[in-house]
Amino acid sequence: MFLVGLALAVTLTGCDVVVGALEDGVRGTIADARQTAPGSGVQPLREADAAQVLAGLPVRGASDRPASRYDREAQFGDGWADLDGDGCDTRNEILAADLDEAERATDDDCTVAFGLLHDPYTLRVVTHASGPQPAGDPFRGVQIDHVVALSDAWASGADRLSQRERLALANDPANLLAVSGPANQSKSDRSADAWSPENADYACALTARQIGVKDAYGLSVTRAEKRAMAETLAQCPGHRTPDEDDRAWFGGTQRPDDGAFRQRGQEPSAGPDSAAGSGEDEDEEALTCAQVWDRLDRPAREGQDEEYRAKSDGDGDGESCERDPR
């Protein structure tokens, strides 16, 4: 379990409140940071049309830069915190929420020792296991991605947040997603204008989530970033940003039954490494989005086209392969 480092504790006034037990779990942690910070600009996540929320985000120019350079440890804490005081750090809470068949270590109740990830960025199935990974597996390892990278957050206005709020942002389940190691390294600290997921059908869900986080924490976008986000959302009109219930879903503290944002945006999908046991025949499994577009010259529609595949319908709107990959 990671606890906020001594240097951070010395820097923060009342830091024990930040990392102390908060009764309402993850959602309570974020709400507590929002409510107690004087002059806080942090707001609750709000479900709304993502394009409309994007239109309201502040746009920064080249001269709008923080006074100091980005420093992960000094500004956002050194590693993963245990903000809800339950003895488990945020990383393991996200792993437990995002992995299928998750198993805890035998010697503690927090460490996730094993699980299967349906990577939303690549549609591949990745095994998470403590210790050495299988040799030669290019997709080995599960990492936690900050949906809005912390360096981007710093450049976007997080320098105006309190240390407490930045710690909350770095450990906010709404801003965290388990993905494959290579996908996380590929995305790195890039914003929407510089990176999009290999699984194009997840782009809308990712963009809406980035917009929701930036809106909640009062962060800005560049003109290029805003343009790229708008172009993505044009492919999925009406896509919604997440709300506070979705934050609980992201963190594993709530499992709504009404097809919540997380389920719409990250339907477990069988990737190219998981054909066995999928229940689909080999021809169906091998059908690519390029082949769908070759046949139909449009997305495949559920209940109408035999080419429709749920695994390629990342936003759950009834259309798979929504972008022409040819």
Question: Among candidates 217, 205, 210, 224, which has minimal Cα distance to 314?
Answer: 205
SS3 176: strand
41 pLDDT band (50/70/90 cuts)? low
Q: Crossing angle, helix 163-170 and helix 25-36, to 10 degrees? A: 160
Residues 6+ apart with CB under 8 A from 232: 192, 196, 203, 204, 207
Q: Tell me the backbone φ, ψ of residue 115, rounded to 5 degrees.
A: 175, 170
101 pLDDT band (50/70/90 cuts)? confident
Confidence at residue 323, expressed as pLDDT on a 0 to 100 scale: 66
| Percent above pLDDT 70 for the chain | 69
- Write the pLDDT tens digit of every residue in 262-277: 333 333 333 334 333 3
Listed by start position, the domains of the chain span: 6-60+68-274, 277-326
Q: What is the mean pLDDT of the chain?
A: 77
Token look-up 């299967």 returns 116
R_g (Cα) of the chain, nearest Å: 20
Q: 27, 253 in Cβ contact below 8 A?
A: yes
Token look-up 């990959």 returns 325
pLDDT at residue 32 tops 70: no
- Write the pLDDT tens digit of every residue in 293-307: 778 888 888 888 888
Tokens of 221: 């976008």
Across residues 54-65, what is the average pLDDT?
92
Confidence at residue 102, expressed as pLDDT on a 0 to 100 scale: 86
Confidence at residue 84, expressed as pLDDT on a 0 to 100 scale: 79
Confidence at residue 229, expressed as pLDDT on a 0 to 100 scale: 98
Question: Among candidates 135, 92, 83, 136, which has minimal Cα distance to 115?
Answer: 92
